[in-house]
């Protein structure tokens, strides 16, 4: 293009939507620009339209000099007017490498006459690095000769940032920035392979915070999140040289230590455990938590990434079982124990479906009336191979696996049906007591479950008593009070089970809508030999009566124990002295024979 006959491009074909210039239409736009000299009088309003577009529209000659650019390009190059841009090249505005790349693409388009659609390029505009989606087509004059290029580009920086964030979050925990389970699985497989080939040491630790839920529940999730960040930082500081870390769950972390001997690993993990236990001030509150760590070593405890994770996980749970705040190395017996637990859990789940659970009833005797006034419903498992399995052998597993909720619901329904059946057989009204587990009590639908059991059985609410453990109701005072009032509105009675084993006081019980206290068997079993237990028992009975509560003592097995309790004013007694837990038919026979 000669200097005596410059081509000043003008856009004639535009989309009515100013948000985007269609790249596929740029070839036609280029042809119209070639005829722009004959239509110069329209330049004013056409340029005005182009200048409203947020996308960058420009034209260059064959030397790469700007012939035209809309307002968006002028502004994003930090200029005040188009005249400051015309005649200059990308080398005047961009780093040399970026300018060189743009020039090569534009030269190829001009030489071949073939448009370049949808090219992503990193550019520098104004405040810094920007990503652009650029389309370039040949600019032709009236004769069809290529005299330059015309381009349109859109700023896709925000889109690229979103893509980078999405890519990061696919492999990282958004709260701590650590690797997540997905990235851990991939990296751990490579690490195990490297250890297999190179023979280096590899230790995997599974770390779980102890009672982290209490921090969330008492201080709020915001403080809980802050504490997790602190924990992540402390672990990272102690593993950055020879290890890596991932957060794979709410309060679960996995630590991978490489090329360290067992003693060094043990020391490092002890340092991590100690660092986590150090308190920190968050929101004006001192926050502290311990952790349980399970350890597995390659290749002894697992030859694959999956096996190492499983072994460390089992060891961590053993640390929990041993009292928390500890470090446990995996051993082969843990795998056998885990298999037994898994098998037992499946058996228990099938027991519900096959109706292998049964209820036994233990009488509760009114000492003044001298007759049976109530019964506690106690679940048993009629195992097809093992016979009658007592609750001590499966209730803790049910609690751990969550099966306690359907089991508890079944006990409640069955107990209500039994009590109503007794009444229908002219035995007379007998109060039925049912234990409510911690998991059941936490269920939002507990009140509805109780109401349904009463409705389906036809049992009047006054003959149903729900026993709640002392530690359960004291764990969340506000929530416990609210839920207990809901249950009270149904008309059922509420009792505190195992009183004296927790950390509440009789005064604190004023807040709860209770009708009775049950003195724990641990205070009864040493009567009359332990004077301290006798004094505590007498005090509980006396103070409970002052609060308007009745008292029942469980675990009564001797005449001496019964005599002392009666003399101390205990209202009811339950224990082997008056009857063991028995099936429905035997319990009914006992009531009939003794005339209640």
Q: Say what the pLDDT of residue 16 is.
A: 37
Question: 294 near 288, Cβ under 8 Å?
Answer: no
More confident residue, 570 or 332: 570
What is the distance in angstroms between the CA of the first residue and the CA of the last residue of the chain? Answer: 117
pTM for this structure?
0.61
Mean pLDDT of the region 554-578: 95
Specify the DSSP class assigned to residue 132. Answer: E
More confident residue, 592 or 153: 153
Q: Say what the pLDDT of residue 507 is.
A: 62
Confidence of residue 25 (pLDDT cuts 50, 70, 90): low
d(CA 252, CA 365): 49
The share of the chain scoring above pLDDT 70, in percent, equals: 89
Least confident of 136-140, 331-335, 354-358, 450-454: 331-335
Mean pLDDT of the region 23-31: 55
Q: Say what the pLDDT of residue 210 is.
A: 94
Question: 44 near 61, Cβ under 8 Å?
Answer: no
Mean pLDDT of the region 148-166: 88
d(CA 451, CA 297): 53
Q: Reply yes or no on whether the pLDDT at 10 is more than 60.
A: no
Q: Say what the pLDDT of residue 26 is.
A: 56
Q: Say what the pLDDT of residue 29 is.
A: 55
Confidence of residue 44 (pLDDT cuts 50, 70, 90): low
More confident residue, 12 or 222: 222
* SS3 of 183-194: HHHHHHHHHHHH
Q: Which two tokens stand for residue 327?
A: 């470090």
Count Cβ atoms within 10 A of the Cβ of residue 9 and give its class: 0-12 exposed, 13-18 middle, 19 or more buried. buried
Q: Say what the pLDDT of residue 436 is.
A: 96
Q: Would you tell me the crossing angle of helices 181-198 and 157-171 to the nearest 10 degrees?
A: 60
Q: Reply yes or no on whether the pLDDT at 76 is more than 90.
A: no
How many other CB atoms are found less than 10 A from the CB of residue 341?
15
Fold of the domain spanning 23-162? Beta-Lactamase (3.30.450)
Among the listed residues 442, 434, 489, the one whose alpha carbon sits nearest the alpha carbon of residue 467:
434
Q: What is the mean pLDDT of the chain?
A: 87
Q: Reply yes or no on whether the pLDDT at 36 is more than 60.
A: no
Mean pLDDT of the region 375-397: 95
Domain map of the chain by residue range? Answer: 23-162, 172-330, 343-591
Backbone angles phi, psi at 313, to 5 degrees: -65, -45
Mean pLDDT of the region 466-480: 84
Q: Reply yes or no on whether the pLDDT at 37 is more than 50.
A: no
Q: Say what the pLDDT of residue 488 is.
A: 95
Phi-psi region of 315 (alpha: psi -120 to 50; beta: other; left: phi over 0): alpha
More confident residue, 77 or 361: 361
Q: Reply yes or no on whether the pLDDT at 493 is more than 90.
A: yes
Q: Which CATH class name applies to 172-330?
A: alpha beta
Measure Cα distances from 197 to 15, 145, 241 in Å: 62, 64, 21
Backbone angles phi, psi at 437, to 5 degrees: -75, 165
Least confident of 327-336, 398-407, 473-482: 473-482
CATH superfamily of 343-591: EAL domain (3.20.20.450)
Q: Reply yes or no on whether the pLDDT at 11 is more than 50.
A: no
Question: pLDDT digit string (tens) for 343-366?
Answer: 999 999 999 999 999 999 999 999
Measure Cα distances from 67 to 28, 219, 240, 273, 421 in Å: 18, 64, 55, 67, 98
Confidence of residue 23 (pLDDT cuts 50, 70, 90): low
Q: Which two tokens stand for residue 257?
A: 């230590």
Give all strands of the β-sheet with 252-258 in edge-to-edge order. 243-247, 252-258, 202-209, 291-298, 327-329
Q: Say what the pLDDT of residue 502 is.
A: 54
Least confident of 5-9, 34-38, 282-286: 5-9
Q: Reply yes or no on whether the pLDDT at 583 is more than 60.
A: yes
Least confident of 54-68, 85-99, 405-419, 504-518: 504-518
Helix (H, G, I), strand (E, B) or coil at 379: strand
Confidence of residue 127 (pLDDT cuts 50, 70, 90): low
More confident residue, 9 or 65: 65
Measure Cα distances from 472 to 167, 467, 468, 546 in Å: 44, 11, 7, 23
């Amino acid at each position: 293009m000669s200097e005596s006959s410059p081509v000043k491009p003008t856009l004639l074909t535009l989309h009515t939507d100013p948000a985007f210039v269609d790249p596929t239409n740029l070839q036609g736009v280029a042809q119209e620009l070639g005829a722009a000299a004959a239509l110069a009088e329209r330049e004013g309003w056409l340029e005005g339209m182009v200048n409203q577009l947020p996308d960058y529209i420009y034209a260059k000659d064959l030397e790469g000099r700007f012939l035209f650019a809309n307002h968006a390009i002028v502004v994003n190059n930090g200029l005040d007017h188009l005249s400051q841009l015309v005649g200059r090249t990308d080398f005047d505005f961009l780093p040399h490498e970026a300018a060189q790349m743009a020039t090569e693409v534009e030269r190829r388009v001009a030489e071949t006459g073939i448009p370049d659609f949808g090219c992503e390029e990193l550019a520098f505009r104004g405040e810094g690095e920007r990503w652009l989606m650029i389309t370039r087509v040949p600019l032709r004059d009236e004769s069809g000769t290529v005299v330059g290029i015309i381009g349109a580009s859109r700023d896709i920086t925000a889109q690229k940032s979103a893509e980078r964030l999405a890519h990061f979050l696919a492999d990282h925990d958004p709260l701590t920035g650590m690797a997540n389970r997905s990235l851990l699985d991939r990296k751990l497989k490579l690490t195990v392979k490297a250890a297999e080939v190179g023979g280096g040491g590899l230790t995997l630790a599974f770390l779980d915070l102890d009672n982290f839920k209490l921090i969330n529940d008492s201080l709020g999730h915001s403080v809980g999140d802050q504490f997790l960040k602190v924990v992540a930082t402390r672990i990272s500081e102690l593993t950055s040289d020879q290890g890596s870390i991932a957060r794979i769950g709410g309060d679960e972390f996995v630590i991978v230590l490489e090329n360290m001997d067992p003693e060094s690993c043990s020391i490092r993990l002890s340092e991590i455990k100690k660092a986590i236990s150090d308190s920190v001030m968050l929101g004006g509150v001192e926050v502290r938590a311990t952790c349980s760590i399970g350890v597995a070593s390659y290749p002894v405890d697992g030859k694959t990434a999956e096996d190492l994770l499983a072994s460390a996980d089992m060891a961590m749970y053993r640390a929990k079982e041993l009292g928390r705040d500890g470090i446990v190395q995996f051993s082969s017996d843990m795998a056998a124990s885990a298999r037994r637990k898994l098998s037992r859990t499946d058996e228990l789940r099938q027991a519900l479906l096959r109706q292998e659970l049964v209820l036994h009833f233990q009488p509760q005797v009114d000492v003044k009336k001298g007759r049976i006034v109530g019964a506690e419903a106690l679940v048993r498992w009629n195992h097809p191979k093992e016979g009658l399995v007592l609750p001590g052998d499966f209730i803790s597993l049910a609690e751990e696996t969550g099966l306690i909720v359907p089991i508890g619901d079944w006990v409640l329904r069955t107990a209500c049906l039994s009590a109503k059946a007794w009444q229908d057989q002219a035995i007379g009204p007998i109060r039925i007591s049912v234990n409510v587990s911690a998991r059941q009590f936490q269920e939002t639908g507990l009140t509805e479950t109780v109401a349904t059991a009463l409705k389906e059985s036809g049992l009047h609410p006054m003959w149903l008593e729900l026993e709640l453990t002392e530690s359960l109701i004291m764990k969340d005072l506000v929530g416990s009070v609210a839920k207990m009032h809901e249950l009270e509105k149904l008309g059922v009675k509420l009792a505190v089970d195992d009183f004296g084993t927790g950390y509440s006081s009789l005064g604190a019980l004023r807040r709860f809508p209770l009708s009775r206290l049950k003195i724990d068997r641990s205070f009864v079993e040493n009567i009359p030999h332990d004077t301290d237990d006798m004094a505590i028992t007498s005090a509980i009975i006396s103070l409970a009566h002052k609060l308007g509560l009745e008292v029942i003592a469980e675990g009564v097995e001797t005449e001496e124990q019964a005599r002392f309790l009666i003399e101390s004013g205990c209202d009811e007694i339950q224990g082997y002295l008056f009857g063991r837990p028995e099936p429905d038919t035997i319990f009914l026979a006992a009531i009939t024979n003794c005339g209640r």
